[in-house]
A and B are shown apart, each in its own frame.
Chain A
Amino acid sequence: MILMAIAAASPTPAPVVPGAGIFTSPLLMSLLVWVTVVSAIAIAILPNPRGRYDVLMKQIGFFTNLGLVFILFVAYNQFEAFLPTAQYEEKVPWLQAIGASYHLGVDGPGMVMLILSGLIGIISVLASLGVRERVRTYFVLLLLTQSAINGAIVARDMFVLILFWSAAVVPIAILILGWGGPRRHAAAWRLVGYWGLGTAALVIGTMVLYAAAGGSSFDMDVLLKATISPRVQLVVAIAMIVAAATRLPLFPLHGWARDVYAEAPIGVTVVVAGSAARLGAYLLLRVVIAAEPAAAHLLSPVLAALAALTVGYAALAALRTIDIRQVGAYLSMIPGGITMLGLAALSPLAIAGSVLSLFAGGMAAALIVSACATLADRAQSRSLQVLSGLAPRMPILAWLLTIAGFGILGVPLFGTFLAEILTFFGSFKNQPIGAFAVAAGLVIAAIALASLFRRVLFGLPNPDAPGVSDASLGETWYLALLAGALLWVGLFPSGPKLPGTDTPLFDQGLVNVLAAGISDISSPYTGATPSPTP
């Protein structure tokens, strides 16, 4: 019904800029959201006597995600990087009585998030090919999770955002309960608790905003552009920070992260660390930084403090823990802290850094948790007291773990390096203490990683350790894809060009795409006039 209504709705405005694409579709955003749901339904109703079609279900999951990446590729290449406003918009009235509409669209930062989600989606399926039990249920839930994440990214109406934001909780919790490690129950219930708290905060913040804006519409174009008193802005911003902190996660609302990243099946950790968690920072960017400048100014030191505490705590905890999956879990919190620092700085450069950090940090976080989990699986132990001197016996995993560590730290050539450079350059002026504290946290993280590498990869082999084997081809594929994406953005932030020219080959560059929305978002902090809504 919704799809039919969308089809009948006015299409995306015709491109006004020469060179605009020919593949634009009024259904592009809906396709990104609903294709996975249709696939999930297909898998759910497919007869599967005695697991005969388990492989087919995995193939459906894989090719669905491949199709999504193709759609994304079209959207990405047709994206008008020089337009700061939302593109590929779809708008259909939904709950007219309360002013909610099915409004989708994407701007520069949103497109960056979509690319992240698309890549993470296909990598999560690759990481899940080893699932043997209840394959049908697993892939149905995984596809529903991906749909919820994509929906939250492209939502341009707060009602739609809440719908998709909260829709991810149940499938992820069941995935952990059904396919997780020994402490899966604690992990799942903690996830439900923390993410539930975040959802509650999001709903309350939205409702306060809705009431303050006249109670007539949940559309972001109305709510986020309404003139709201600083006091209400503050209430909304605090609620949104709580919502974001539970997702990203940020200290002190990070309680779910260690258990979930350490206990969830690898495919699920990839999705949660890679894209679901980034939604927290994306929410903050969209609702607080872009729309509530008074509150953002007031709370920016708090955000910087949260960023510093998160990075410092995560690094120290990673240094102290003796479980390699928990080390990965703690280290995966660090990119979130850096993203938050960029948002706290309220300067165009830092905001651009934080948006790039959404992508690069998501990839790095997914890589470190999945590399640690794969290593633990292959070495048949999670204990750092047992794991030692593994580099000669598992060279591929050793390389991938090293790349993951470098990705977290942001060494040159990696996408995270560029994100951190932009973030730190943009934040040293506005948030010097926070920036120094985050940098100090990164130093501790480097020590934790060095300690991990020295012990696990290059220490003396433990004669009492169980047998180990290197990563399989499938594991190498998904880990290498994550590492490759990190390196690609680090090497070609503006996309590869034809030799000797400025003509892009097939990728117009993430930095160019994300820049499309930055001018609008940062306009309250630079004095520039925001672009009018088309």
Chain B
Amino acid sequence: MNVKNLVLVPEALVAAAAVLLLLGSRLGWFGSSSRRYLPAAVAGVAIVALGVELWAGATVSTYFGGGLVQDRFALFAKAAVLLALAIVLAVADWTAEDSVSIGLAMPLLAAFGVMVAASAGDLVALWAGLELAAAAGVVMVSLRRPDLALRLVITGGVATSLLLIGLAFLYATAGTSDLTAMREVLFGGAPTIALAIPLFLAISGLALRATLPPYHLAGIPTILGASPVGAGLVLGLVAAAAAVVAIKVAAVLTPIPSVYSSYLEVIAAVAMVGGGAAALAVRSPRARMAYLAAGQIGWVAAGLVTHYRAGLAGSMFLLGAFAVAATVGPAVMGRAEGGEPALAGMAVLRPARAAGLTLAMLSLAGAPPLAGFFGEFAVGAALAQSGHFGLLALGILGALLSLAAAVGTLRLIYLQSPLEEARRGAALPVLTRLSTFGAVAFCIVIAAYGLLSNPILGLADQGAEALGLR
């Protein structure tokens, strides 16, 4: 088989698995015993897709008349999201999910959406990928809390409107929807208020999708009410899709950064500091994780402010760490209905999960020597290179607040004695070989991200170069 054709195999595998799961669910193909084998089988599909992506994804090619582009950026983002997908499917406690088949299908669809956005060659594919990921999130939330799903639909609609207005004006300005061509046109253009205002709206829409403070008011309750996998989907995959769109749009706009950088700087600063402060203020472990994630996605936005290759590469590098930690974190945590008591003494009862949760919290907080620290440091170096010392200082402040918040949760996990079932408020995650394996794999990924940061950051750097940055 031609290697060029193999490049689309991961997308095909993920989409086909999702469709089969939905059909099977509808037609009653899966019996009650499916809980035992389906997660392992679907996680296996994700691992195969990841393997194919890493093997064949280095081939640079275009598809569908330029609608999809396979470059280093796509390779990086797709690999990151497939890795997050495989681990979350393995580590999840499927007894805590409302439907196994839909619970497996929606993360697949969301990952497919991120993959489409990552390899998007034009505005349409970019938007379609983001909407697909977001729609999967709505379905997941609706399984448990239709009221929150409705809220997500409404805020998602607002986000989509804002984004579409922005992208439409961008299209009108450049006269093309092709991202590469658009960038070339903008090289000769000048920054105007007429362009800055719609971009303001588009960035707001993306921030709403990524649940970034101060646009988090609708997103956080949704994350709290969803099942563990649903929460990870909204927190990790949908936010990653929004970040991928933001990175691609920022790369297009690098010839005229002044139209967006000031507003993005404010968004990043508020997210970094606000995320950390809110994480410190809340008591619920899942809410804390959501705010830690919001703080880290603020760092991703900060990297875009630099509008340099190093900054975008740093953002991508951090996005990889974020996608894995934020997607898997809620699944490792399990049921969160019990609030803080649900985690008391988790280290004694579920040591592998406790280790995974610890690393997820610390990585999202940017604690060394974990994945998040390396990513935030790379972004910080880019901010220093570009002279954004104020933003860097605010980011460090946010990271410190996040770190203090994470220590608060670790205290619960390691220092408190386990409570009996009635006082715990939520059942402990069911122990299976697959979930233990998933938790261990997650720990290894988060810890090894730093050790392997040279090739990973190198790939991210090539990804930034592929977006046209020098």
Name A residues whose Cβ lies closer than 8 Å to a Cβ of B. 1-2, 44, 93-100, 134, 137, 159, 162-164, 166-167, 169-170, 173-174, 177-178, 188-189, 192-193, 196-197, 199-200, 203-204, 207-208, 210-211, 215, 218
Contact = CB atoms under 8 A, between A and B. Distances in A.
B283 to A, nearest CB: 15
Contact of B403 (A1, A159, A169, A215): A169
Interface string B374-417: 10011011111101010011001100100110110011001100
Interface stretch (B117-125, B222-230, B361-369): B361-369
Nearest to A235: B389
A174 B369 contact: no
Contacts of A178: 411, 414-415
Nearest to B451: A1
B397 A200 contact: yes
B362 A170 contact: yes
A95 to B, nearest CB: 5
B217 interface: no
A218 B367 CA distance: 19
A170 B410 contact: yes
Nearest to A166: B368
Contacts of B377: 95, 98, 100, 159, 162
Given A95-B454, A170-B407, A211-B384, 20 more contacts: A1-B452, A93-B454, A94-B453, A96-B458, A97-B461, A98-B378, A98-B382, A162-B368, A166-B367, A173-B407, A174-B410, A177-B411, A178-B414, A192-B403, A199-B396, A207-B380, A207-B381, A210-B384, A211-B385, A215-B385
Interface in B423-470: 448, 451-454, 457-458, 460-461
B347 interface: yes
11 contacts: A95-B453, A96-B454, A98-B377, A100-B381, A134-B415, A162-B377, A170-B406, A192-B404, A192-B407, A196-B400, A218-B381
Nearest to A37: B369
Nearest to B392: A207
Contacts of B453: 94-95
B260 interface: no
Contacts of B347: 137
Interface of B: 310, 313-314, 347, 355, 362, 367-369, 373-374, 377-378, 380-385, 387, 389, 392-393, 396-397, 400, 403-404, 406-407, 410-411, 414-415, 448, 451-454, 457-458, 460-461
Contacts of A210: 381, 384-385
A97 B458 contact: yes
Contact of B414 (A174, A199, A218): A174
Contacts of B387: 211
A170 B414 CA distance: 13
Given A95-B374, A169-B403, A196-B403, A177 B415 contact: yes
A173 B406 CA distance: 11
B299 to A, nearest CB: 13
A189 B410 CA distance: 13
Give 5 closest A-B pairs by Cβ, nearest first: A207-B384, A215-B385, A196-B400, A98-B381, A178-B415
A208 B389 contact: yes
B415 A207 contact: no
Contacts of A200: 393, 396-397, 400
A474 to B, nearest CB: 25
Contacts of B411: 174, 177-178
Given A98-B378, A169-B403, A207 B461 contact: no
Please report whether the interface of chain B is mostly helix, strand, loop or mixed according to DSSP: helix
A296 B414 CA distance: 44
B366 to A, nearest CB: 9
Contacts, number: 113
A1 B454 CA distance: 11
B414 A137 contact: yes
Given A178-B415, A211-B385, A167 B454 contact: no
A93 B314 CA distance: 17
A279 to B, nearest CB: 15
B310 A98 contact: yes
Nearest to B460: A97
Nearest to B456: A95
A137 B392 CA distance: 34
A167 B453 CA distance: 18
Contact of A1 (B389, B393, B410, B448): B448
Nearest to A93: B454
Contact of B457 (A2, A97, A134, A199): A97
A294 B347 CA distance: 51
Nearest to A2: B451
Nearest to A214: B385
B414 A203 contact: no
A166 B373 CA distance: 10
Contact of A97 (B378, B414, B415): B378
A175 to B, nearest CB: 10
Contact of A204 (B396, B448, B452): B396
B414 A207 contact: no
Contact of B396 (A99, A170, A174, A203): A203
Nearest to A177: B411
A193 B403 CA distance: 10
Contacts of B313: 97
A166 B397 CA distance: 14
Nearest to A101: B454
A197 B396 CA distance: 9
Contacts of A197: 400
A200 B376 CA distance: 13
A196 to B, nearest CB: 4
Contacts of B362: 170
A159 B374 CA distance: 10
Contacts of B452: 1
A164 B454 CA distance: 18
A95 B458 CA distance: 8
B470 to A, nearest CB: 14
B66 to A, nearest CB: 29
Contacts of A196: 400, 403-404
Nearest to B376: A203
Contacts of A204: 389, 392-393, 396
Given A170-B362, A204-B396, A95 B407 contact: no
Nearest to A140: B414
Nearest to A193: B404
From B373, B397, B415, name the one whose CB has the most chain A CB atoms within 10 angstroms.
Answer: B415
A207 B383 CA distance: 9
Contacts of A2: 451
A475 to B, nearest CB: 25
B457 to A, nearest CB: 5
B380 A95 contact: no
From A170, A210, A218, name the one whose CB has the most chain B CB atoms within 10 angstroms.
Answer: A170
Nearest to A204: B393
B18 to A, nearest CB: 34
Contacts of A163: 368-369, 373
From B383, B448, B453, name the one whose CB has the most chain A CB atoms within 10 angstroms.
Answer: B453
A229 B393 CA distance: 22
A197 B393 CA distance: 11
From B347, B362, B414, name the one whose CB has the most chain A CB atoms within 10 angstroms.
Answer: B414
A208 B393 CA distance: 11
B378 A95 contact: yes
A189 B405 CA distance: 10
Contacts of A211: 384-385, 387
B382 to A, nearest CB: 7
Contacts of B314: 98
B403 A95 contact: no
Nearest to A167: B368
B397 A174 contact: no
B369 A167 contact: yes
A167 B403 CA distance: 11
A211 B377 CA distance: 14
Contacts of A94: 453-454
A211 B386 CA distance: 8
Contacts of B415: 134, 137, 174, 177-178
